[in-house]
Amino acid sequence: MSDTETAPVFWSPFLFCCPLLASNRSMHFPIGGGLMRCEVRKDMAMSDMFAMPGIVDPLHDILAAGEDDIGRLISRLSDVLASETVLPGTRLPSRRVTAARFGLSVTLTDRIYRALESGGLIYTTLRSGSYYALPVPARVEPDAAVSPPRLRNQLPRSSTSGILAEELARRHAGPATRVADVTLDDRRLRKAAGRWLAERIPDASRQRIVATGGGHEAIHAVLKSLTVPGDVIFAEELTYSGIHSIAGKLGLSIIPIQLDRSGLIVDDLEHMLGTLTPKAIYCNPTFQNPGVTTLPNDRREKLANLARRYHVPIIEDDPYGAMFAGDTVPVSVFARNYAYYISSMSKSVSSALRVAFVLTPNVAASERLIGALSAIGTGLKEGELHYATDLIIRGEYCKIVLENRNILKERISVSESILEEVDCQISGFHIWINCNGRKKYLDISEIIRKNKINYSDGIMFSTNRPYQGIRIPLDSSFSIEDVARLSVRLQTIIP
């Protein structure tokens, strides 16, 4: 291992987990936003590792110094958290472990934890533990110059885009940046989440709904709650690019499921399940990204039956479901007890609204998911969640979704008429141009680049064959003139 590599290591500030060592090696530990290089021996005791320079924890230092004044402890820890020398979301040990480690009474330790929680320095979740929290900022007034970052895959520009952007910019300032409560304890939030999901799943139980900071975070948390490093998951051979980075972080292997022009091939999946049992099946059945296919209902039902037969949970990623006016039924309806249904607002209401809702198979699965979100550190903000709630409760989201849907429908129709001679699929948010080979892929991508058209390499979506196609978004960068010019060029190389 080189000096610049980060070794796979499981570390907590209180030595819960020991690095998995096969030999002596150098490791890099996350310290204060950077990495510190430490020599770790396979025979090293946990107490020795904890004493290594750089492996520090603010609460450990304070307690080890004999700090028993809770008021001063809170003040010192607040300064440490504000200086950003410890990462928010880092887990603390249990009260009993802390008491034993520092020779404190369990009663005093409990008082310390409660005081830290009251001071907003840590937060505790049911059956998961306590974690360092983001320091609560002082009240600041919204800055008119502040705006949410521009995100990829923007929705079409509509009459409401400016209003949404301004409101989200306002809520990004000040206390709105506090991490929201993903458990949706507020009755109004539960009502909004249930109403949002009811568009696709009418009988969605509010007790099984968890809020997350967007679809990517939802996928990450669900997989973390279901897997351990070394596990295998199944996903479509062309799939959401973020699944690759998530699998890498969690130490998972992805086995591809074959696709055709209608989506996931269920017969191929059945054959795979006969030889290997994954911990989860990730799929995007509606307006599949990037291949833009929509899985027929008969295949959805077969997919659900396979999940039940082999006891494998399905992670149904449905970011475009709210934009789909067809008669398809979510896979999660067929596989209720074996499915996690993810629906985000960024692909239907506003690209800057990073709010998603996850419908889990049962309450126990919801609790595990909440624990996983605590471990990875949710990005869900109170301001965004409450704004999303307002849009849903007042019914304003319906108008926004309908307008965005109509704009996309028009762009799809225009693109289909222009590109009718080109081997491509057009649906949902994208144009997927089939390449099926390296030479054709390079020729097409060169034409697209020369015409300065926004596109995404098919390589980033592939789990097995890298040169299958190229994705062009039907977003705010869309231009009829660009598509017409592209069509003429493509017809010279595509039969």
Domain identity same for 343 and 239: yes
For residues 48 and 165, state if they share a domain.
Answer: no
Give the containing element (helix H, strand E) for 54: none
Pairwise pLDDT comparison (54 vs 182), residue with the higher score: 182
- Sequence length of the chain is 495
Residue span of the structural domain in which 454 resides: 402-490
Residues 365 and 485 in one domain: no
Q: Phi-psi region for residue 108, left (φ > 0), alpha (ψ -120 to 50) or beta?
A: alpha
Burial of 354 by CB count in 10 Å (0-12 exposed, 13-18 middle, 19+ buried)?
buried
Higher local confidence (pLDDT), 288 or 323:
288
Structure confidence at residue 332 as a pLDDT band (50, 70, 90): very high
Determine the pLDDT at residue 56.
Answer: 39
- pLDDT tens-digit readout, 56-85: 355 665 566 555 566 666 666 666 555 545
Q: Kindly state whether residues 432 and 386 are assigned to the same domain.
A: no
Considering only CA atoms, which of 350, 330, 327 is closest in space to residue 396? 350
Answer yes or no: is pLDDT of 235 > 90.
Answer: yes
Average pLDDT, the chain: 75
Instruction: Tell me, yes or no, whether 325 and 305 share the same domain.
Output: yes
**CA angle at 202 for the pair 193 and 208, rounded to the nearest 5°:** 50
What is the rounded average pLDDT of the residues 162-173?
54
- Are 431 and 392 part of one and the same domain? no
Domain of 306, CATH number, reads: 3.40.640.10
Same domain, 330 and 472: no
Whether residue 410 sits in one domain with residue 378:
no
d(CA 381, CA 148): 13
Q: Which residue has the higher pLDDT, 124 or 3?
A: 124
Q: What is the DSSP letter of 258?
A: P
Are residue 175 and residue 125 in the same domain, yes or no? Answer: no
Q: Is residue 80 part of a domain?
A: yes
Q: What is the residue whose two structure tokens read 């290594």? A: 52
Same-domain check for residues 106 and 76: yes
- CA 264 → CA 85, 274, 315, 318, distances in Å? 46, 17, 14, 15
Is position 495 within any domain?
Answer: no
91 vs 302, residue with greater confidence: 302
Residues 88 and 126 in one domain: yes
Higher pLDDT among residues 1 and 420, named by residue: 420
The residue out of 397, 412, 436 marking a domain boundary is 397
Residue 393 forms part of a structural domain: yes
The reply to whether 167 and 254 lie within a common domain is yes
Number of domains in the chain: 3
CATH code of the domain covering residue 82 = 1.10.10.10
Q: Give mean pLDDT, residues 357-379.
A: 90
